Structures are given as C-alpha cells and as structure tokens.
C-alpha cells in the first residue's frame, strides 16, 4: 500500500517548479509502448535510445545483454536513466516471455516480406519495439517470435539508420498518433504514485532522513 501522505510530505521538500515538472511529465508517460534493445554493442547507442524514450514519454526500456554487458553511458543518456525504468535481461527468450506475459506484441524493427511501413502501423495495440545489433540486426530468435515487422520508408542509397535514430523516428511517430486516439494510454493511478515516490527518492539527497523523521512523527 502506497502512503500518499508520505509522498505529499516528500514533495513538500521539492521546489514548486520541480513538483509541477514532475506532474507535467508524468501526465505524458505511457507503458502502452515500450522498447527493447538486443545486445547493442556501442554503449552510446543504448544510452541514446534511453534518452529518446524519456523525451517521447516511454516509461520502460528493456535491455537484453546476452552477449554484450555494459554500463549505461550517463553522459549520452543525459540523466534519462534516472527517469526511465530499465528492465535488464540475460537472454532474449526471458525478455520476450516477460513482455508477452505483460500483453505486449513483439514488433521487430526490420525490413521483412510481411513488414508494415511506419505510417500504417496500428498504434492501438500494446507494443514493444525491438532494435537489434548495429551490424547483424535482430537475431533470428526475435524475428521468429515477432508478431509484426516494422520499417521506416527510405528513399536514398543508404538502406539503414543508426538504431538510436530509428528509435527516435518511430517513437515520435507512434506516440503522436497514440495521443490522437481515445485509448487509455496514460499510467494508472497506482503507477503514477509509484513514480512520484521513486522520483522523490532519486531527487532528495536527504530522502532517508526525511522518511525516518516522518515515520517517527
């Protein structure tokens, strides 16, 4: 059970601008869409994807580190990892199983014989967009498990984009379209309370002391 009074007490230590900022950002957060990166080798690419997720209101990012395990680049992410929830997996299988259990369709971002171009994508479906390694792309395991294949239309000689650029383009498009629908895409009341508490914890340096005094009073 979340103590709403505790959250309000903690928020009283924040500036009014910070409280309003939290409220505004949370009102645009969603779990209707999420993103997964599969064994991305270049650290700055994963970090940049996390940053894009924060910018476009995606609350959760799923990172598969079956082969490449690296620390998130704080400089590239620009602190985004503080506000976005990171779910880490040691295998593609466990990641996909967890996402499907949560009700997500698996969207492989790659050209395919049965692919869908971005502007035709059905945003009403709860979806996880998978982005693969820089050179090899997505593994066969992800491709076999995919419910949908998505591509960004291109008109030049170059046949692919950097994954962080692809993620930004896709997320900007689908979140804009999503907000034009009647779907209940925002966080639930419980999820909002959890984030308010979590963000207070990550913001207040004296969080533990404040909570201790609150519990004693």
Q: Residues 150-154: what's their mean pLDDT?
A: 87
| Distances from the Cα of 101 to the Cα of 86, 97, 104, 164, 185, angstroms | 17, 6, 7, 26, 18
Q: Measured between alpha carbons, how far is 138 from 35 in angstroms, rounded to an integer? A: 13
pLDDT (0 to 100) of residue 203: 94
Domains in the chain with CATH codes: 32-195 (3.40.1280.10)
pLDDT, tens digit, for every residue of 19-58?
999 999 999 999 999 999 987 756 678 888 999 999 999 9
pLDDT, tens digit, for every residue of 47-100?
889 999 999 999 999 999 866 555 555 555 557 778 999 999 989 999 999 999
Q: How does residue 155 score in pLDDT terms, banded at 50, 70 and 90?
A: confident
> Among residues 59, 139, 56, 147, which one has the least CA distance to residue 93?
139
pLDDT (0 to 100) of residue 137: 80
pLDDT, tens digit, for every residue of 110-145?
877 778 899 999 999 999 999 987 667 888 999 999
Determine which helix (DSSP H) or strand (DSSP E) holds 100, and give its type and residue range. helix 92-101
Q: Residues 10-24: what's their mean pLDDT?
A: 97
Tell me: pLDDT of 161 over 90: no
Buried b (16+ CB within 10 A) or exposed e, 194-208: ebbbebbeeebeeee
* Contact present, 115 and 150 (Cβ < 8 Å): yes
Least confident range of 6-10, 36-40, 144-148 = 36-40
For the chain, list the strands marked E by DSSP.
33-38, 60-64, 85-89, 105-109, 116-117, 127-131, 148-151
pTM (predicted TM-score): 0.91
pLDDT (0 to 100) of residue 111: 73
């Amino acid at each position: 059970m979340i103590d709403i009074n505790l959250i309000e007490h903690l928020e009283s230590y924040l500036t009014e601008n910070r409280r309003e900022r939290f409220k505004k950002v949370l009102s645009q957060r969603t779990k209707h869409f999420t993103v997964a990166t599969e064994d991305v080798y270049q650290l700055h690419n994963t970090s940049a994807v996390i940053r894009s997720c924060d910018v476009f209101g995606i609350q959760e990012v799923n990172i598969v580190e079956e082969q490449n395990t690296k620390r998130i680049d704080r400089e590239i992410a620009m602190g985004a990892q503080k506000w976005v929830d990171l779910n880490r997996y040691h295998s593609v299988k466990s990641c996909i199983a967890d996402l499907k259990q949560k009700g997500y369709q698996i969207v492989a971002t790659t050209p395919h014989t049965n692919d869908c171009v971005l502007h035709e994508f059905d945003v009403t479906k709860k979806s996880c967009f998978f982005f693969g390694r820089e050179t090899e792309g997505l593994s066969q395991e992800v491709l076999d498990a995919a419910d949908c294949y998505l591509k960004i239309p291109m008109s030049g000689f170059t046949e692919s984009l950097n994954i962080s650029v692809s993620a930004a383009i896709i997320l900007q498009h689908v979140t804009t379209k999503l907000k034009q629908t009647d779907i209940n895409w925002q966080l639930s009341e419980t999820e909002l309370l959890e984030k308010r508490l979590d963000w207070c914890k990550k913001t207040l340096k004296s969080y533990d002391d404040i909570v201790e005094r609150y519990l004693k009073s």
